[in-house]
C-alpha cells in the first residue's frame, strides 16, 4: 500500500479502507475465488507467508490461517 516492498504486510481494515474504500470487498472476492488454491498452499506449507519466520512471532501463521478460514 505504501510502496515499501519490504514493509509489514499487515494492515488494519481501517488502513486498507483509507487507501482504497473498495479494497476490502476486493480482498473478500479474491479470497472466495481462490479459496481452494489458498487452502492447498496453506496445508502444503508452500508459501512463506503462511509459515512462522525465524525472527518473528508464530502468530503470523495463526493469523494467516484464521484470515484464510474466515472466508470459507
Total of domains in the chain: 1
Give this prediction's pTM.
Answer: 0.47
Flag whether 20 is in a domain: yes
CA distance 10 to 4: 12
SS3 52: coil
CA distance 49 to 57: 12
Flag whether 7 is in a domain: no
Q: pLDDT value at position 10? A: 77
Flag whether 64 is in a domain: no
Flag whether 27 is in a domain: yes
Flag whether 24 is in a domain: yes
SS3 20: coil
Flag whether 26 is in a domain: yes
Question: What does each of the 72 residues of the chain score in pLDDT, given as a tens digit?
Answer: 456 666 666 778 898 888 899 999 999 999 899 999 989 998 998 888 777 655 444 444 445 455 544 444
CB 8 within 8 A of CB 15: no
* Domain that residue 34 falls in: 13-44
Amino acid at each position: 500500500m505504501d510502496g515499501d516492498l519490504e514493509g509489514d504486510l499487515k494492515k488494519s481494515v481501517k488502513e486498507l479502507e483509507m487507501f482504497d474504500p473498495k479494497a476490502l470487498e476486493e480482498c473478500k472476492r479474491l479470497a472466495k475465488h481462490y479459496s481452494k488454491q489458498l487452502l492447498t498452499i496453506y496445508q502444503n506449507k508452500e508459501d512463506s507467508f503462511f509459515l512462522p519466520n525465524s525472527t518473528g512471532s508464530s502468530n503470523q501463521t495463526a493469523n494467516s490461517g484464521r484470515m484464510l478460514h474466515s472466508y470459507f
